[in-house]
A and B are shown apart, each in its own frame.
Chain A
């Protein structure tokens, strides 16, 4: 069980990582390695060099800056799951993380790695969209911030440009908001066949789905249907119908397009019921 050969570089700062990326344009960043290394072991990926950023101190941890929680890209799932700040102000993240992989995956995998990888079956992208997160990206020409809505652009593709690093995730603190994540796991890999994250902030409902399409997306139809309405069982049930048309959805051994579309409705309803405390 061996990957192809590669050169290994360890970055100690973001600046160094950016520099290394410029020196090795074909290189890949190595975060928790839990998407990259499995792909390399099956020789589906064979980067000539890896730049390890997992130990860059400035990229780790959760802190509060005013009404924003700033999450370092190399913060592991385990750290997210146990973060008091997240539990208090953004319980959606620990809840979603609880269902990612298994404890060993959560010990290594990182939020930044997951978002940058943009696997269509990854869990966290849905929460990012529902929360209205912002991604801080640094590159040779400085830093920029991208809205979650603009970040996921396709299957395994994001707004990240060559040579750029996702460094921080900014989560707005939404006092009093209720939130929940409902996931239908793939029976074998346990990634998301469909995962729906909802944030109910006053009369605003924000919802997003992962697993269904090429990348995570907002469930605008649902958001509109519930806007300003009380979250009753009847309203929720009525709203969670035919949220996505099957045509462009993913399909595989576990779920056809039609079934996936149906699961989106079911998971959306479950997430909303939970958020509404019903």
Chain B
């Protein structure tokens, strides 16, 4: 094909607007007559709301309304539902504005709407709320203790659900007869996603047509429309348009149906004026859904040959105060099912208890469940290798699923479609110079310098996912994806996708593929996303699903276009459609190159329909709904090299290398960029980031002064390459790459730090490896109580 763009590192078509400051984010918008909202939020983790006195706020000049939870409930606004149900799950109500009790710091108690944000923020301080503070619980395991304060009255034991997977009896038996076992008690630290764009929502209501429009910072506008229409507000679905314009990062935190979106819609109708709300960062810290937060006991058993025979995991997964849209899926199917990793472990059992606590709700954060699984598995593998006196790489190699074992059925439901793990591992080892590194490490140790090398292999299951399968597992949503490809009379092409790009570069990568499929210049293609008013139904972007599902739908739709174009060409060229070939951008009669029609000719004739097949509809557009047959299973090897300063406990990243396999790469610039960013986020979890709560449920690291995001000087240039093992069940063989970096890097950095600390006899520390924690471990002193004592 002349203009093959698949695989080209094309510069992104979305960039000119961003680099010139003309991107279009929700908070950039103003509408005529627009007013603004500020939220009154609970300063307590748990408190009874005895009285709300808004009289002072209401007399403040410029204030238009103070909205309470009772008012919205009386107006018939329902609770926000969760999108994933397990058997026996408790789903207590979650009202946009709470009216009985506040259940986490930041829970909305009232909303002030005023002429502008300045006035709204001033007036929010004037709303007098009479709280009766109640005892609160922040840690999952504390919430499960008898007598712990209940988050929801109708869930007195705080247990939202329990879940398990695997054959417990077989696992127990394997442990009973094991040659060696290891056990780790670990905590997967709670994280705040911190997309750089704070959340924002703008709602408009048009009385004449009874129509609402919501612009919002979302990864999945259709899901919002569905939830708001069908469950929360009862707006007829066709009267609500949800638009997610440019969105400044999501990482899972912009999936969730947030209370503020309901509040601005309600207020817009009530006041007859557009209403905007934009989060301050310190609001984001307590209201954007958090990630991770597991307390886990993980065990591994091996036989005499060093083969892993069983893995047993028991996890407490903190749900926070309310259930978010996909929260119940994260510590279960996206976690327990991943515990085989890249290994042939025959017996795996995972049990999860998910309590409510008086903390910000927890949902998907980049990787969602899979980083947690990878982290504990790869920690177990390193600890076991050490127990066995084996090099951790050789122990891994011994247990990798061999290339001829695919499709490979794991003991935890998933069937891996394809993989070639050992080749991938070897490539990474060779790139990093593993033996030489180990030699250097030994050398430096003699000088009192502590280098650590962390090698991990990982797989992920992404590209969510077959609808029937997720439905049977509890999803209240489908997970197919849609595309509409519309060819215009001049041969230009609009592509509408149900996925959403908030940094992933769909406007470029998808256009490259469409241009290839239609054999037209890429400039003639535009990718449209993020507007329920323009595109067919779709489920949005998360779980690295956009390329494997969204792009597959697009490809299949373009192939329908090509089929139809052949029929039109056949008619024009007086040939049989079977004799038409699509080559070099032309539709021609096979073997007769001068008998050809251009894409433009066909597009025009499809619209004029003057000289046209009698049995063919005019027009040239196609829709495809693609339901994947399986997840896709990207994999890879990541290697981190760190040095620990024993005097201060500070960990410095020296090198980071990754070899990923996401199948054929559409645009290496974009795919590599996804990996780099993911690695930084995973490193953040290992070294820097933690949402620290005190016993009263106050967050102690609730802004950028206390919560450390990786900065430029925390990172190094990443050494990166690929292996290519195509996915056998989608049209392009592609897999996801959006989360791989995060899934892998936390574990790689963790193993590197633990490797560096080995000479001190340290087997395990919980993340993040902050200087004091490391220093204390080295110097053998006991940790002091966190924070303010």
Contact = CB atoms under 8 A, between A and B. Distances in A.
Contact of B706 (A253, A259, A266): A253
A256 interface: yes
A262 B784 CA distance: 14
Interface in A21-41: none
B776 A259 contact: yes
Interface residues of A, number: 20
Name the residue among A43, A188, A189, A252 with the largest chain B CB count within 10 angstroms: A188
Contacts of A189: 704-706
Contacts of A266: 647-648
A4 B123 CA distance: 11
A1 interface: yes
Q: Is the interface of B mostly helix, strand, loop or mixed?
A: loop
B687 to A, nearest CB: 9
B655 to A, nearest CB: 21
A42 interface: yes
Number of chain B interface residues as a range: 20 to 34
B68 interface: no
Contact of B775 (A1, A252, A253, A262): A262
Given A1-B280, A2-B121, A188-B706, A258 B781 contact: yes
B700 interface: yes
A259 B700 contact: no
A106 to B, nearest CB: 16
Interface string B749-789: 00000000000000000000011100110000100101111
Q: Name the prevailing secondary structure of the A interface residues.
A: loop
Contact of A2 (B117, B688, B708, B784): B117
Given A1-B280, A188-B706, A259 B775 contact: yes
A57 interface: no
A254 interface: yes
B118 A256 contact: no
Contacts of B788: 252
B692 interface: yes
A189 B700 CA distance: 14
A188 B704 contact: yes
Contact of B282 (A42, A253, A262): A42
Contacts of A42: 282
Interface string B116-132: 01100110010000000
A258 B648 contact: no
A173 to B, nearest CB: 33
A11 interface: no
Contact of B770 (A187, A251, A258, A263): A187
Contact of A187 (B708, B781, B789): B708
A104 to B, nearest CB: 14
A-B pairs with lowest CB-CB distance, top 8: A188-B708, A187-B708, A259-B772, A256-B784, A189-B705, A2-B118, A266-B647, A253-B787
Interface of B: 117-118, 121-122, 125, 280, 282, 647-648, 688, 692, 700-701, 704-709, 770-772, 775-776, 781, 784, 786-789
22 contacts: A1-B280, A2-B117, A2-B121, A43-B125, A184-B648, A184-B771, A187-B708, A188-B704, A188-B705, A188-B707, A188-B709, A189-B704, A189-B706, A252-B788, A253-B701, A253-B786, A253-B787, A254-B771, A254-B772, A255-B772, A259-B776, A263-B648
